[in-house]
Amino acid sequence: MKKNEKLNPELALGFTDRKGDELLIKDRLIEIIKKNFQLYGFEPLETPGFELSENIGKFLPDEDRPMSGVFGFKEKNQWLSLRYDLTAPLARYVAKNYRDISRPFKRYQIGTVWRNEKPGPGRYREFTQIDADIVGTKNIYADAELCMLMADTLIKCGLEKDRFIIKINNRKIFQGILEFFEIKDPKQSLTILRSIDKFQTVGKKGVLELLTKGRLDKSGDFTKGANLKKEIAEEIFELLSADSIIRDKKTGVFRLSAGDSLFKIENDTYLEGLKEVDTILSYLGENKEVNIMSTDLSFKQDMINFQMDLSVVRGLEYYTGTVMEAETTDTSFWKSSRDANAFKKIKLGSLSGGGRYDKLVSRFLNDDYPSVGISIGLDRILMLLKDNYKDQALKNPIIICVFDSNYFSKYNDILQTLRSANINSEIYIGDGNLKSQMKYANKRNSPAVIFCGENEVKSGKITLKNLKSGDEKSLELKNLNNEIKKFI
């Protein structure tokens, strides 16, 4: 850096500053979520921000280079990484402490995670995750419970039931489809899954491009495709239109159907996935007993909309079975960072997601530790619901203006009177004159200022100025709190 050259105070791409009301609302949401997780029997856990890179692995969608998507550095002979989620560190913790924890182990965790990936609207490189996981059980009821926990938590945060959908799928269904089409290359299989997962953002045309030769997005970035033949890509995409599970009561065989079409895939992996989805929907309240039993893939229980959606496969590589996602039905309006008067209309997308990961812990142990978990996207919920918490907004302080340092004992008396009544307040601690003090109060959005100069000291009263109305009143100290509470 050249001498006298000034630094540019810009943020790194994908990061943001937060202050004031937003942080208070965030704290409030965290308390609501923690309380609800505890209600469901989950206990808290805290793990470090850094982990040994080999222990948490790399399961993120971006796979162009080793450990891409992860922030890390090498220390001596070891690579350390900032955690990219809270699940991989949980697997390490369980493996280290499995003798001392219950089985199943139900834990929740709140923490910051970091991803070195392309940012977008509502998508940051640093964000807060809140996870709930059940480790050490194959019982599919655990999956259903987490679907209910996801929905219940969003409702308790203040989201109306008709503003979100809980979408459910199973990785085994797609694994069975890949087996049916004799797609055996693991890298190609993963590319196909991740292509399908982008359906909500790129649509049918985009998915078909990703399943075949690849896709060029609006920014000019090119994503390599799965190199499937066009007809196979279209057949796979057609499966996304399935709207019900059909089970023959005599044979017990499950099939996906779309209208009059019946998809006849019968390998074990595929059928097991369908059965697990059917079981979850049954636990959630949908169970129709007829000769040919049909489970509608979209239904509402107590007005919570549960829906099977084959396009939901989740980007993380470690999922092995059930995957679920809570998606908003809203379109939100965001202020442009470059133009305060410009608004950009976007779809927020997933508010929460998760799934079953039966192999993550077993990387450390000679024992299966089947697990399932969800993650709540706190930052997206905050942006969606911040108007719901206006009453939680920061109550900016009353400013006691300083006329003479000899009157500080008087100012302290006023301060203690206000704070004893839980009224946020402060004595001006800057170096400016009265004009500067008023400017400070306005920038702080203070509801009022208090004047106590020579005239007030002589009269034994103080002057209260309401900065919203501009009204001034001369008061005795004993009446100050009641007067202030009329307008704050």
pLDDT for 64 beyond 70: no
Does the residue 15 lie in any domain? no
Q: Are residues 68 and 202 in the same domain?
A: yes
- Rounded to an integer, the average pLDDT of 53-75 is 72
Extract the tokens encoding 91. Answer: 């697997």
Q: Note the pLDDT of residue 51.
A: 94
Q: What is the pLDDT of residues 127-148, one digit of tens each?
A: 899 999 999 999 999 999 999 9
Does the residue 360 lie in any domain? yes
Q: Are residues 294 and 238 in the same domain?
A: yes
Q: Are residues 26 and 118 in the same domain?
A: yes
- Rounded to an integer, the average pLDDT of 22-35 is 92
CA distance 183 to 185: 6
Q: Are residues 298 and 443 in the same domain?
A: no
Question: pTM for this structure?
Answer: 0.80
C-alpha angle with apex 340: 337 to 345, nearest 5 degrees? Answer: 70
Q: Note the pLDDT of residue 337.
A: 42
- Among residues 390, 417, 435, which one ends one of the domains? 390
Q: Are residues 238 and 308 in the same domain?
A: yes
Does the residue 237 lie in any domain? yes
Q: Note the pLDDT of residue 258.
A: 65
Does the residue 3 lie in any domain? no
CA distance 117 to 90: 22
Q: How far is CA 346 from the centre of its chain?
A: 17
Q: Are residues 281 and 407 in the same domain?
A: no
Does the residue 149 lie in any domain? yes
Does the residue 14 lie in any domain? no
DSSP label at residue 83: -
- Among residues 390, 422, 455, which one ends one of the domains? 390
CA distance 60 to 57: 9
In 1-41, alpha helices (H): 21-39
Residues β-bridged to residue 130: 110, 376
Residue 230, Cβ neighbours under 10 Å: how many?
A: 11
Which candidate, 73, 76, 135, places its Cα nearest to that of 102?
135
Q: Are residues 253 and 378 in the same domain?
A: yes
CA distance 462 to 360: 67
State the CATH number of the domain containing residue 469: 3.40.50.800
Query: Taking a C-beta distance cutoff of 8 angstroms, is the pair 108, 11 a contact?
Result: no
Query: Taking a C-beta distance cutoff of 8 angstroms, is the pair 173, 239 a contact?
Result: no
Q: Are residues 214 and 144 in the same domain?
A: yes
Among all chains, which residue has been given the structure tokens 């969606």? 384
> Residue 385 is inside which H or E element, if any?
helix 378-385
The percentage of residues in the chain with a pLDDT greater than 70, rounded to a whole number, is 86
CA distance 45 to 423: 35
**Number of structural domains found in the chain:** 2
State the CATH number of the domain containing residue 244: 3.30.930.10
Domain residues for the domain of 402 are 398-484
Among all chains, which residue has been given the structure tokens 């939901």? 312
Q: Are residues 457 and 349 in the same domain?
A: no
Which candidate, 24, 45, 152, 23, places its Cα nearest to that of 90?
45
- Rounded to an integer, the average pLDDT of 382-397 is 77
Q: Are residues 372 and 407 in the same domain?
A: no
DSSP assignment of 151-190: HHHHHHHT--GGGEEEEEEEHHHHHHHHHHTT---HHHHH
CA distance 101 to 96: 10
Does the residue 9 lie in any domain? no
> 11-25, 92-106, 374-388: which has the highest mean pLDDT?
92-106
Going by pLDDT thresholds of 50, 70 and 90, the confidence category of residue 480 is very high
Query: Taking a C-beta distance cutoff of 8 angstroms, is the pair 193, 201 a contact?
Result: no
CA distance 82 to 116: 10
pLDDT for 290 beyond 80: no
CA distance 80 to 75: 7
Among the residue ranges 137-151, 181-195, 304-318, 425-439, the one predicted with the least confidence is: 304-318
Does the residue 184 lie in any domain? yes
Q: Of residues 97 and 303, which shows the higher confidence score?
A: 97
Q: What is the pLDDT of residues 311-355, one digit of tens each?
A: 888 877 889 999 999 988 865 444 444 444 444 555 666 899 999
Residue 104: asked if its preceding bond is cis (omega within 30°), the reply is yes
> Residue 279 is inside which H or E element, if any?
helix 268-283
Q: Are residues 170 and 73 in the same domain?
A: yes
Query: Taking a C-beta distance cutoff of 8 angstroms, is the pair 370, 358 a contact?
Result: yes
CA distance 225 to 237: 14
Q: Are residues 82 and 127 in the same domain?
A: yes
Average pLDDT over the chain, rounded to whole? 85
CA distance 18 to 116: 20
- Among residues 390, 422, 447, which one ends one of the domains? 390
